[in-house]
Amino acid sequence: MPSPRRGSSYITQERTDIMSTVIRTQISLTEAQMERLKREARRRHTSIAAIIRDAVDATVTDEDTDRLARQRRAFGLAGAFSSGRSDASDRHDEILGEETRW
């Protein structure tokens, strides 16, 4: 593994594997926001960029991940309830089409 560049001591073993997949961007912050970020980075022993990436992940929904989570919750319900009928899996279309509730 290549060693971090001089001045990049915030790059840790855990971060180097994701560093190749990030896109460099430029943002504008107020002085107060930058000072808060610097203090938080020192407190967490991490980079300002890592804090910003964490904030994006926490506030901006990833639609694909969200959809997968909803599907997993829905599939987790399969078999969790009882219809009171022993033939529901064989006759589900017919039963669900009935006007009376089971």
pTM of the model: 0.47
Based on the domain organization, do 6 and 50 belong to the same domain? yes
pLDDT > 90? residue 47 = yes
Q: Which domain holds residue 39?
A: 1-60
pLDDT > 50? residue 79 = yes
Based on the domain organization, do 76 and 33 belong to the same domain? no
Q: For residue 55, what are its two tokens? A: 């904030």
Q: What's the whole-number average pLDDT of the chain?
A: 78
Query: Looking at residue 20, what is its pLDDT?
Result: 59
Q: Residue 37 in contact with residue 29, Cβ under 8 Å?
A: yes
Q: Helices marked H in the chain — which ranges?
A: 13-19, 31-44, 48-59, 63-76, 92-96
Q: How many domains does the chain have?
A: 2
Query: Looking at residue 18, what is its pLDDT?
Result: 54
